[in-house]
């Protein structure tokens, strides 16, 4: 074997309030699993759970003593600068391979910034890593960029592989369970995991890059065999499982069969899915989903306004949304709606109406984000052709002559405070309790954790404002409390 001991590293370690901290680092787990039987030993390390190794000296000491290949996944924009700094400090005599969505977008930047990186795996890396660890000459490996004689060589892209040929993550490589931890405080005893049963999405929403692979190619929708999905579900010990498919119900017949198999195999979990509103057209499937343990639906609504929905090529109208929710509200699903604000030509009143519309639909919670442009987003062209609208050349939120990023933040706070009032919070608590999303002990634990959580949030906000020397931070803190 070419390598005796490989370290598969998730380098993100900072406290995050996002779901990024809630779920396992699936990307690097897929890679670690692909290498099994091709290397002597694999250590899967998630730095969020390895306090000792968050100290770079300890990490380097371990690497020098044990490791002869280092594989690092760079997936998110979040903390990208810090991750680059960490990689720069790694031993330069141990080969370093990086991959993941963000790494694929930033190949040139990473090679320039981090002299310790030897190879970047572009796109899906499950097959590529097998060839790297097996000792295939770099020049013959599709989908990599690597250093050679002081230059960077970019090999051709690797064609997408059949989803059924990819092994699902071996969870026995993990050293820990995943809990809801916010600002360092564990809020419930529930454990969380994810599963991916399809890749790609047949829809063409204008703002969306989810359905693109990291090379910007539209992924053809592809399904894993249901037998393999059930086999994987049986290996999952977590209480809550997120189907991270772009749209779990793309093929309703298949989803129905999967619900039947979950029930037949007596797999008892709380399932979460991302879905479009079209699921409301399938009442039999909804009933089966409810029986199979599907409790939390994450629904992309995006906008209450037909003009904006058309701009985003969402494929439905306000009327269709209302009709769908009339059906969905008859079931015991907790529904979280996603919205986008700051769209082209959208007025402040139209943005703030998101909160009222969400209440009219009886949504339980909502998430809303600014219109964004990512590297391969089809929106880039639209924004470039629209006078008065801008985005950072590296991608990011769209702003305009009328709405600066600061204005959009103010609008965001208006939507948030208008939706999340006392009645809504009371509704959320009673709903999660009524549909059994959490148990009595979880609820008790959550309420006991709340004062400490609020204290940490407050401390963090105060420190942030003191460090940034913002004038009048006490007044801002007061406003922050009002809107939280
Ligand atoms: S937003 Fe959802 S439905 Fe639309 S293309 Fe993206 S993944 Fe598919």
Domain ranges of the chain: 5-164, 177-438, 447-483
More confident residue, 258 or 20: 258
Q: Which residues pair with 146 in a beta bridge?
A: 119, 153
Ligand 1 mean position to 217 CA, how many Å? 14
Q: Which residue minimizes the CA distance to atom 6 of ligand 1?
A: 208
Q: Is the dihedral of CA 382, 210, 295, 441 positive or negative?
A: negative
Nearest CA to ligand 1 atom 7: 246
CA of 213 to the centre of ligand 1 (A): 13
Q: Name the residue with tokens 């949504």.
A: 363
Structure tokens at 267: 């797999």
pLDDT at 20 over 70: no
Closest ligand 1 atom number to CA of residue 208: 6
Of all atoms in ligand 1, which is nearest to the CA of residue 276? 3
Ranges of beta strands (E only) in 149-279 are 151-154, 179-182, 185-195, 198-199, 222-223, 240-243, 270-275
Cα 440 to ligand 1 centre (Å): 36
> How would you label 135-152 residue by residue, b for 16+ Cβ within 10 Å and e otherwise?
eeebeebebbbbeeeeee
334 versus 467: the higher-pLDDT residue is 334
Strands (E), 33-126: 41-46, 69-73, 96-99, 119-121
pLDDT of 468 above 70: no
Enumerate residues 6+ apart whose C-beta is below 8 A from 163: 198, 199, 222, 223, 224
Angle 114-115-118 from CA coordinates, rounded to 5°? 100
Ligand 1 pocket: which of 202, 204, 205 to mutate (most atoms within 8 A of CB): 205
- pLDDT band at residue 483, thresholds of 50, 70 and 90? very low
Per-residue pLDDT at 359: 98
- The enclosing H or E element of 131 equals helix 126-134
Mean pLDDT, range 404-426, rounded to an integer: 96
Query: Tokens 């141990």 sit at which residue?
Result: 94
Residue 100 is given by DSSP the state S
Stretch 178-197: mean pLDDT, rounded? 87
Question: Residues enclosing ligand 1, CB less than 6 A?
Answer: 201, 203, 205, 208, 210-211, 246-247, 276, 300
pLDDT digits (tens, 9 = 90+) for 260-305: 999 999 999 999 999 999 999 999 999 999 999 999 999 999 999 9
Residue 221: is its pLDDT beyond 50?
yes
Mean pLDDT score across all residues of the chain: 91
% of the chain with per-residue pLDDT over 90? 75
Among 235, 157, 155, smallest CA distance to 193 is for: 235
Contact 278, 252 (CB under 8 A): no
**Would you say the C-alpha torsion 120, 380, 317, 409 has a positive or negative sign?**
positive
Nearest by Cα to 240 from 46, 49, 437, 429: 437
Q: Kindly indicate whether the domain formed by 177-438 is annotated with CATH number 3.80.30.20.
A: yes
CA-based R_g, the chain, Å: 23
Calpha distance 3→5 (Å, rounded): 6
Given the CA of residue 207, which atom of ligand 1 is nearest to it?
A: 1
CATH of 5-164, one of 1.10.3470, 2.160.20, 1.10.8, 3.40.50: 3.40.50
CA distance 214 to 76: 12
Ligand 1 binding pocket mutation candidate from 199, 200, 201 (most atoms within 8 A of CB): 201
Nearest to 324 by CA among 426, 421, 249: 249
- Tell me, in angstroms, the distance from the centre of ligand 1 to residue 252's CA: 16
């Amino acid at each position: 074997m070419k390598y005796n001991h490989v370290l598969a590293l998730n380098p993100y370690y900072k406290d995050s309030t996002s779901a990024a901290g809630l779920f396992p680092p699936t990307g690097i787990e897929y890679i670690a699993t692909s290498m099994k039987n091709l290397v002597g030993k694999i250590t899967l390390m998630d730095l969020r759970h390895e306090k000792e190794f968050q100290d770079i000296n300890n990490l380097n000491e371990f690497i020098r003593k044990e490791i002869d290949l280092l594989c690092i996944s760079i997936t998110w924009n979040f903390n990208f600068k810090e991750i680059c700094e960490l990689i720069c400090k790694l031993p330069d005599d141990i080969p370093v391979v990086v991959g993941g969505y963000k790494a694929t977008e930033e190949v040139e930047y990473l090679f320039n910034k981090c002299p310790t990186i030897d190879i970047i795996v572009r796109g899906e890396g499950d097959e590529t890593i097998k060839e790297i660890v097996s000792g295939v000459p770099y020049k013959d490996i599709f989908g990599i960029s690597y250093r050679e004689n002081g230059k960077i060589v970019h090999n051709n892209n690797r064609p997408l592989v059949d989803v059924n040929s990819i092994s699902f993550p071996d969870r026995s490589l993990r050293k820990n369970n995943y809990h809801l931890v916010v600002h360092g405080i564990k809020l419930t005893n529930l454990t969380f995991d994810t599963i991916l049963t399809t890749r790609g999405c047949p829809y063409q929403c204008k703002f969306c890059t989810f359905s693109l692979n990291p090379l910007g190619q539209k992924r053809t929708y592809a399904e894993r065999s249901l037998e393999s999905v059930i086999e994987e579900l049986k290996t999952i010990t977590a209480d809550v499982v997120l189907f991270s498919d772009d749209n779990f119900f793309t093929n309703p017949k298949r989803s129905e069969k999967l619900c039947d198999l979950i029930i037949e195999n007596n797999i008892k979990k709380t399932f979460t899915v991302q879905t479009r509103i079209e699921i409301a057209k399938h009442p039999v499937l909804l009933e089966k989903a409810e029986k199979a343990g599907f409790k939390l639906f994450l629904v992309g609504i995006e906008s209450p306004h037909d003009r904006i929905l058309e701009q985003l090529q969402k494929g439905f109208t306000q009327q269709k949304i209302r009709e769908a929710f009339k059906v969905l509200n008859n079931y015991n699903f907790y529904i979280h709606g996603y919205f986008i604000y700051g769209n082209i030509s959208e007025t402040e009143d139209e943005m703030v109406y998101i909160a009222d519309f969400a209440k009219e639909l009886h949504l339980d919670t909502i998430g809303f984000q600014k219109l964004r442009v990512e590297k391969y987003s089809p929106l880039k062209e639209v924004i470039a052709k629209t006078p008065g609208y801008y985005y950072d050349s590296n991608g990011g939120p769209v702003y305009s002559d009328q709405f600066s990023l600061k204005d959009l933040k103010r609008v965001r706070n208006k939507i948030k405070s208008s939706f999340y009032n006392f009645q809504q919070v009371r509704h959320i608590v009673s709903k999660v309790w009524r549909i059994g999303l959490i148990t009595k002990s979880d609820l008790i634990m959550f309420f006991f954790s709340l004062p400490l959580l609020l204290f940490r949030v407050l401390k963090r906000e105060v420190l942030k404002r003191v460090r940034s020397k913002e004038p009048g931070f006490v007044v801002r803190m007061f406003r922050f409390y009002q809107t939280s």
